[in-house]
Structure 1
Amino acid sequence: MSADHEQHPLFMPLVFVGGLIFGFGLAFSHMAQPEIVLTFLQFADFGLLFVMFGAAVVTGITFFGVKLVRSDAPLTGTPYSRRLKTLDRNVVVGGGIFGVGWGLSGICPGAAYASLGIGNVIILYGIAGMFVGAYLQGYWRSALLESDSAATAAD
């Protein structure tokens, strides 16, 4: 967000409410249960496809329809624009690690928090693993950037 746009006071409460609705939807559709997700990954139950399809339809309508009505976000004032990310080594490796973690735990990060809400406290091990992995990645990335800047300064 640029400095010339003031954030609306309802922005964070609405993000919180959106997260609650998302978590309720995951719990209601049973996608906050790792056992259900693992049956999908083992090609035994394709219910997750319907959940993802429904989410894709709502997202598609929102992303394309809202731009017809508004040119900027109502709560932040920032203009709508596409964020293009290049497909590089970091994206591929990060996506692979994310996918392996999802397959091993049977749940993605957003659904892990919703899983806590339905009483699955054992998922705290998975959430702790996500935090440790994110910390290690940040530490590794910082060390790489520092070594690159030190090598550039030495030249």
Structure 2
Amino acid sequence: MVAKDHESHPLFLPAVFVGGLVFGVGLAVSEMARPEVVLDFLQFEDFGLLLVMGGAATVTATAYAVVGRLRDSAPLTGWDYERRLKSFDRNVLLGGTVFGVGWGLSGICPGAAYASLGIGNVTILWAIGGMFAGAYLQGWLRAVVAGDESPAATAEVSD
């Protein structure tokens, strides 16, 4: 099935907003939006994050297993329910390593950083600024390596 434009259904963007809101509230309630809690997990002092991640993985695995059998496509987009497989290559290994080091240094991942800002942690703006600078630098370096001088050329999503 050909993917439909996400604007084809008027409830798509509100559904994305509500999903993000639920995610942010969940991070705040579970205290995973506090870098100190995440750093305690990474230092093997508090295993609450393991329960939060385990709960999220359980819900996701159940949704993939059940919903795909009940429906052929997503109700708001018409996209097929399928996994997007990505090969394990050098870029995945390098990106995962950089992400993990950043997570360990800051004690926060991108989703939780925005939730942390929402609970009043304004110093997290340094980490958010670093995420944007790192993403821009990666796009610029990718363009340089590819021989293209325009960073906008890297904005295309490649599968």
TM-score, structure 2 as length reference = 0.88
Distance 1:42 1:78 in 2: 41
What per-residue deviation string (whole Å, max 9, x for no partner) do you get for residues 40-71 of structure 1? Answer: 00000111111111111111111111011101
User: For structure 1, which runs of at least 5 residues remain unmatched after alignment?
Assistant: 148-155
Deviation at residue 2 of structure 1 after TM alignment: 4.6
List aligned pairs for 1:8-27, cutoff 5 A: 8-27=9-28
What per-residue deviation string (whole Å, max 9, x for no partner) do you get for residues 49-107 of structure 1? Answer: 11111111111111111011101111111111221101110000000000000000000
Partner of 2:138: 137
Partner of 1:153: none
Partner of 1:63: 64
Partner of 1:101: 102
What per-residue deviation string (whole Å, max 9, x for no partner) do you get for residues 85-138 of structure 1? Answer: 011100000000000000000000000000011000000000000000000001
1:124 aligns with 2:97: no
List aligned pairs for 1:110-121, cutoff 5 A: 110-121=111-122
Q: CA RMSD in A?
A: 1.4
Deviation at residue 13 of structure 1 after TM alignment: 1.1
Distance 2:10 2:46 in 1: 43
Partner of 1:90: 91
Moved more, 61-70 or 22-31: 61-70
Larger Rg: 1
Distance 2:146 2:93 in 1: 19
SS where residue 43 of structure 1 aligns? coil
The percent identity for this pair of structures is 66
List aligned pairs for 1:45-56, cutoff 5 A: 45-56=46-57
Partner of 1:151: none
Higher RCO (CA 8 Å, separation ≥ 6 residues): 1
List structure 1 runs of 4+ shifted beyond 6 angstroms: none
What per-residue deviation string (whole Å, max 9, x for no partner) do you get for residues 5-25 of structure 1? Answer: 243111111101100000000
**In structure 1, what residue type is equivalent to 2:120?**
G
Distance 2:136 2:142 in 1: 10
Distance 2:58 2:95 in 1: 26
